[in-house]
Structure formats: C-alpha cells, structure tokens
C-alpha cells in the first residue's frame, strides 16, 4: 500500500457514513448507502453481476445503519450493517481511489463509480 493511502484518522457515524483522513491530508467521505451498494464481498458482487440491487433486499431494515465497524488488519475496514450483513471488507487503498473518482476495483466488482 502506498503511504498516501494510509488512513491517519477514521470517523464512523453509524447513521451517516464514514470519513477517512489519509496520510497526505486528503479527507474522503462516504455515505452509508454508497458504501452498502458498493460492498466488495462475494455475495454482493454476485448480486450485482446478476443486475440485482444489493440493498435494500426484501426485509432489509430501513434506514440503513452501521452496527459495528472494525479494522481488518492495517489495510481495510470491515463494516457490520443493521441487516446483519458483515462480510464486506473495504480496503483503504480502494476507498482512496474511489474517493479520487477512479474505479476502486474492476467494473463489476463494486465501488465502481464516484461516491458523488
Ligand atoms: Zn456484501
């Protein structure tokens, strides 16, 4: 991971979203729905590949909320949602690219557009 993609501050607002300050001073904000829709886990990738919405699913509680957030090693953020979905790990370097308006991953793997 490049140094500039290293997070130096991380703020999780369960009802709003996630704000990450990177080592070079860049501040990236992600809202809840963008993060949930861009979930990089295999289940969500599969749904998107089939052209389905990953959220809300039938029975999903609304509004969306983060139940828990924890670091996954030094490279990623694991979010647990109020629909009990918890398998997505968001790598910081992918979030950085996404925030810069670039695709974070390949086209069909989520986080493919700008959060704006
Ligand atoms: Zn997922």
**Per DSSP, what are the bridge partners of residue 62?**
none
The predicted-structure confidence for 4-46, as pLDDT tens digits, reads as follows 889 999 999 999 999 999 999 999 999 999 999 999 999 999 9
Report yes or no on 83 lying in a domain. Answer: yes
For the domain that residue 11 is a member of, what is the CATH number?
Answer: 3.30.2020.30
Q: What is the pLDDT of residue 116?
A: 45
Contacts of 46 (CB under 8 A, 6+ apart): none
Separation of 26 CA from ligand 1 center, angstroms?
A: 26
Within-domain flag for 85: yes
Structure-model confidence comparison of residues 83 and 105, the more confident one = 83
Q: Considering the domain boundaries, does residue 58 fall inside one?
A: yes
In a domain, 8, yes or no: yes
Q: Identify whether 42 is part of a domain.
A: yes
CA of 7 to the centre of ligand 1 (A): 22
The reply to whether 113 falls in a domain is no
**How far does residue 28's CA lie from ligand 1's centre (Å)?**
21
Residue 40 CA to ligand 1 centre (angstroms): 6
Q: 60-81, pLDDT tens digit by residue?
A: 999 999 999 999 998 999 999 9
Could you list the beta-strand ranges (E) of the chain.
Answer: 7-13, 17-22, 27-31, 66-72, 76-81, 89-91
* Structural domains of the chain, count: 1
Given a cut of 70, whether residue 112 has pLDDT beyond it is: no
In a domain, 115, yes or no: no
Residue 52 CA to ligand 1 center (angstroms) comes to 12
């Amino acid at each position: 991971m490049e140094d500039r993609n290293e997070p130096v501050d991380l703020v999780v607002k369960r009802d709003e979203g996630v704000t990450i300050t990177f080592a070079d001073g860049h501040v990236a904000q992600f809202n809840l729905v963008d993060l949930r829709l861009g979930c990089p886990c295999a289940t969500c990738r599969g749904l998107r590949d089939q052209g389905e919405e990953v959220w809300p699913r039938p029975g999903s509680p609304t509004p969306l909320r983060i139940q828990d957030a924890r670091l996954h090693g030094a490279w990623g953020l694991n979010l647990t949602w109020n629909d009990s979905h918890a398998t997505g790990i968001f790598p910081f370097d992918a979030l950085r690219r996404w925030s810069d308006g670039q695709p974070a991953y390949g086209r069909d793997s989520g986080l493919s557009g700008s959060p704006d």
